[in-house]
Structure 1
Amino acid sequence: MPLSDTACKNAHKHAKTSIGKPFKLADEKGLYLLLKPQADGCWGKWWRFKYRFGGNEKLLSFGTYPDTSLLQARDKRDTARKQLADGIDPGIVRKIEKAGSLENTFSAIANEFLESNRKSWSESHHAHIQQCFERDVFPWIGSRPLKDLSAIEVLTVLRRIVDRGALETAARTKQFIGQAIRYGIATGRAERDVTADLRGALPSPVKGHFPAITEAKPLAQLLRDIDAYGGNFVVRTALRLQPLIFARPANLAKAEWDEFDLDAAEWRIAADKMKMNNAHIVPLSKQAIALLRDIHPLTGNQQYVFASNQGKSGDKHISRESIGAAIRRMGYQGQHTAHGFRTTASTLLHEQGFHSDMIERQLAHAEHNKVKAAYNRAQHLPERRLMMQSWSDYLDELKTVATVIPFKKTGT
């Protein structure tokens, strides 16, 4: 039976006091009143809330009775239960509140938000959000108390991203900032999500579309410009490889030497690194292998093919945006992206009659029919090897001739 205010007032008269040892009077939903004998012969009354988090039993103190009334203790219990329902440990919230304002900055709360989701997110997703915060957000508003953060401050941060042409990144970063702020609201350190005031304030990226060159003549010029690109050697190599293999930029940036078998001409990507959680094989053309052998003396003794120590997030490889940034620097902003090479290849390969299933498999697109997916994995690798070599040969020839040439399949 739940406690009443009368029962709390008269708890020191309870029959259990005759034993002279601490005892509990249960209320409900984990709340109870703990009675302890004091040196002066009186009985102290403490509110306690018992709960479980992460598989462990924990206790939270809500003060003493009558300083904290039964109604106030229940309100505190209900607040703690709401935090638990949101996946937040109320004990951690209490520690944070005691830690002071230094732990209430945006960067402190955002890092706590990241840590609270580490087990539920994939490693790559966690690293991506952390990189966004450290590169584009923390330097500008990281030290700001979350409760004082304004919409215009967040908008200024996002406009810096927009100004470099990264509209998708700006939209995602706004989403990540909002998630961190809502975590702060749930833990009692903010009152509202100011990103809600920014609806319509950013240019909208076109959903599901990355700018891509899909005609031979402008593609030939892009390839020549890539060959002439004078930037960092590691980024330049990744930039030259991407048209040949049209991988997802994130996968290419994090490519590891252990995944490559140059003698077998294969790049094998584990399922946990793929967007669709399916292991993927990329057949390597002779041109792709030549680029990899060229960079091997520089990075072959490191984990990552495109090793770099320049990232602010602590990653040991180039950023997933490095190739796109290089393309923008060459003057192709709004015309083509690193991801756009996937559209380029898909369009031209389809136009030249390569089988759609083979192209889709090479793009690592999801196949909802499990039987068909298994068939694709088992049957298309030899054909994909021929297709990838034909594609690389076509790109080589395209950039060396003045007129547009037809795409001829190797071995046909």
Structure 2
Amino acid sequence: MKELESVPAGWKRDTLSDGDGLSGEVRLSDGGAVFLPFRYAFKWEGKVTWHYCGSWPATSLEAIRVERDRARALIKDGVKPTDAKRAAKIEAQAKVEATIAEAARHQAEDLPLRAMFEVWLRDGVKRAGENGELQRSFEKDVLPLIGRKPVRLVDEGDIRAVLRAVISRGTYRMASRIYADLVQLFAWAEARKPWRALMIEGNPTKLVELAKLLPHGCDPDAERDRVLSPDELRELHAKLADMEAAYAATPAGQKYGTDRPLKKETQLALWICLGTLCRIGELLMARWEHVNLQIGEWFVPGENTKTRVSWKVYLSPFALRQFKALHALTGDTPFCFPARAATGEAPAHHVCVKSVSKQIGDRQTQFKKRAGPLAHRKHDNSLTLSEGAAGAWTPHDLRRTGATMMQQLGVSLDLIDRCQNHVLAGSRVRRAYLHHDYAAEKREAWERLGERLDALLVALNVVPRD
């Protein structure tokens, strides 16, 4: 060792022998330091072959000799040292790749339900509003409970736990919708990789019966048939007017102690739904560019409709007054019902399509199973009608009420369907060849409904006229 330490730089390219075929060539690093790569010389198939054993001083001379002895033993056993070295590298690489593959396999086996839902949302389902409502319901009621759980471990008990949590709130129709969505999600996944391989115990939704989780006699899918009577319509408008009058009469500085009335935009939305038979979601997504206040027409693009079919609403004087009053409030924005924007910024979107339904429901809490008020939400019965004898009412019930009033006025059922933008019954051939738009007939039907509402409400001086 000391001999190597005393090798001068002038011996560059000289070879030093350590015996038994091991020798090192004197070399200089970029910094001028001496180092010696050692090689072991041996004959293989009649030719001299070299096996690298290490470089001194990075590798000690003792370790270099051990590598020489290992190579010599391999040769004795008929194994070429360079081949053995290459094989060792291949084996080491194979072990690394196997470790990576095993980790990937475990990761694939532990894919969570949230990952499956997100792929389904992107590639397996297409609903109105870019699946927004579907995503909201899962984020609220499904994913917080089982979103992180590996798909392979999700069982029928997990599905029941999700549904029971929703049912405990008394929201039976929501439980039915979530159950149907879970059935659709797992049926989609059951036919596709990698999800089907993860369902080692089968599709858990096939083992769950929603009817056994609901209260006895409950049918969440039963069609609502709530229709507001003329007296209830008068009561509704009177209540809205009284709320505004009470708030306006409260002196400044004391208004915090007085209940705020329902937002004026929300009030107008209710009367527009009643007077046009539109769906509340279609209305809340409306843009002013689609409303012509001069000729009294509102165009509803197909992407905003449940049927994905565009339609045109011919506004009666009653409905047109509501739109004009709304325009005075929000006409400086692109949206008829703009979402709240940051100070100094223009609204970038319309309000949530559930906002009006929530505001109405929050004022009929006797029909809800709530332990107390929700944060930043109303919690009273100020909009309960007929003292609750007929049950809760929703904005969608106004659409049904308006349609029923049309029926009472003698409008044909087929025309009422057209005024509601329903998918019409009949053969595909009929729908393909009969393209009359019934514009005049629909305009007359809406005007007759508007006249009926005017007679009902204006007579009480509750709906201002132009």
Instruction: Give yes or no for TM over 0.5.
Output: yes
| Equivalence for 2:280 | 249
Q: Does 1:114 align with 2:121?
A: yes
Change (3 A) 1:297 1:97: farther
| Equivalence for 2:395 | 338
| Equivalence for 2:177 | 172
Deviation for aligned residue 1:175: 1.6
Change (3 A) 1:207 1:300: same
| Equivalence for 2:355 | 322
CA contact 1:245–1:282 (8 Å) conserved in 2: yes
Deviation for aligned residue 1:307: 2.6
What SS class does the counterpart of residue 281 from structure 1 fall into?
Answer: strand
1:209 corresponds to which of 217, 223, 239? 223
Change (3 A) 1:346 1:236: closer
| Equivalence for 1:194 | 204
| Equivalence for 2:307 | 276
| Equivalence for 1:130 | 135
| Equivalence for 1:305 | 336
Deviation for aligned residue 1:172: 1.2
The residue type equivalent to 1:194 in the other structure is P
Deviation for aligned residue 1:386: 3.2
Change (3 A) 1:179 1:214: same
Deviation for aligned residue 1:362: 0.2
CA RMSD across the alignment: 4.1
* Structure 1 unpaired stretches of 5+: 1-38, 43-62, 68-93, 403-412
| Equivalence for 1:352 | 409
Deviation for aligned residue 1:166: 4.1
Deviation for aligned residue 1:127: 2.8
CA contact 1:269–1:281 (8 Å) conserved in 2: yes
CA contact 1:220–1:395 (8 Å) conserved in 2: no
Within-5 A mapping of 1:76-115: 97=105, 99=107, 104-115=111-122
* Aligned counterparts of 2:137 and 2:447: Cα–Cα separation in 1: 36
| Equivalence for 2:149 | 144
What SS class does the counterpart of residue 339 from structure 2 fall into?
Answer: coil
1:398 corresponds to which of 456, 459, 462? 456
The residue type equivalent to 1:115 in the other structure is R
CA contact 2:172–2:220 (8 Å) conserved in 1: no
| Equivalence for 1:381 | 439
1:220 corresponds to which of 231, 234, 238? 234
What SS class does the counterpart of residue 416 from structure 2 fall into?
Answer: helix
CA contact 1:257–1:303 (8 Å) conserved in 2: yes
* Structure 2 unpaired stretches of 5+: 1-81, 87-93, 244-260, 342-347, 368-390, 461-466
CA contact 2:274–2:398 (8 Å) conserved in 1: yes
The residue type equivalent to 2:286 in the other structure is A
| Equivalence for 1:24 | none
| TM-score w.r.t. length of structure 2 | 0.55
Change (3 A) 1:175 1:371: closer
The residue type equivalent to 2:449 in the other structure is W
Deviation for aligned residue 1:122: 4.6
Change (3 A) 1:366 1:322: same
* Number of equivalences: 310
What SS class does the counterpart of residue 358 from structure 1 fall into?
Answer: helix
Deviation for aligned residue 1:125: 6.1
Change (3 A) 1:206 1:110: closer
Deviation for aligned residue 1:218: 3.0
Deviation for aligned residue 1:319: 3.5
* Aligned counterparts of 2:332 and 2:147: Cα–Cα separation in 1: 36
What SS class does the counterpart of residue 298 from structure 2 fall into?
Answer: strand
Deviation for aligned residue 1:396: 4.0
- Whichever of the two has the greater Rg, that structure is 2
CA contact 1:226–1:240 (8 Å) conserved in 2: no
* Aligned counterparts of 2:443 and 2:242: Cα–Cα separation in 1: 28
What SS class does the counterpart of residue 330 from structure 1 fall into?
Answer: coil
What SS class does the counterpart of residue 422 from structure 2 fall into?
Answer: coil
What SS class does the counterpart of residue 267 from structure 1 fall into?
Answer: strand
Deviation for aligned residue 1:293: 3.3
The residue type equivalent to 2:121 in the other structure is L
CA contact 1:308–1:318 (8 Å) conserved in 2: yes
The residue type equivalent to 1:364 in the other structure is N
Q: Cα deviations across residues 207-255 of structure 1 (Å, max 9, x unaligned)?
A: 4622322532234324444556734454444233221222123322322
Deviation for aligned residue 1:114: 0.7
CA contact 1:104–1:145 (8 Å) conserved in 2: yes
Change (3 A) 1:298 1:100: farther
What SS class does the counterpart of residue 282 from structure 1 fall into?
Answer: strand
* Aligned counterparts of 2:433 and 2:108: Cα–Cα separation in 1: 59
* Aligned counterparts of 1:330 and 1:307: Cα–Cα separation in 2: 22
The residue type equivalent to 1:398 in the other structure is L
Name the % identity: 22
Within-5 A mapping of 1:23-102: 97=105, 99=107
Deviation for aligned residue 1:98: 6.1
Change (3 A) 1:254 1:152: farther
What SS class does the counterpart of residue 124 from structure 1 fall into?
Answer: coil
2:269 corresponds to which of 203, 222, 238? 238
* Aligned counterparts of 1:240 and 1:374: Cα–Cα separation in 2: 35
Deviation for aligned residue 1:110: 0.8
What SS class does the counterpart of residue 141 from structure 2 fall into?
Answer: helix
Change (3 A) 1:361 1:222: same
What SS class does the counterpart of residue 404 from structure 2 fall into?
Answer: helix
Deviation for aligned residue 1:156: 4.6
Deviation for aligned residue 1:278: 3.0
Q: Cα deviations across residues 69-119 of structure 1 (Å, max 9, x unaligned)?
A: xxxxxxxxxxxxxxxxxxxxxxxxx99856468x7232222111111226x
CA contact 1:137–1:157 (8 Å) conserved in 2: yes
Deviation for aligned residue 1:282: 1.0
* Aligned counterparts of 1:228 and 1:163: Cα–Cα separation in 2: 35
Change (3 A) 1:342 1:361: same
The residue type equivalent to 1:212 in the other structure is R
Task: Out of 387-396 and 241-250, give the one that drifted further.
Answer: 387-396
Deviation for aligned residue 1:353: 1.2
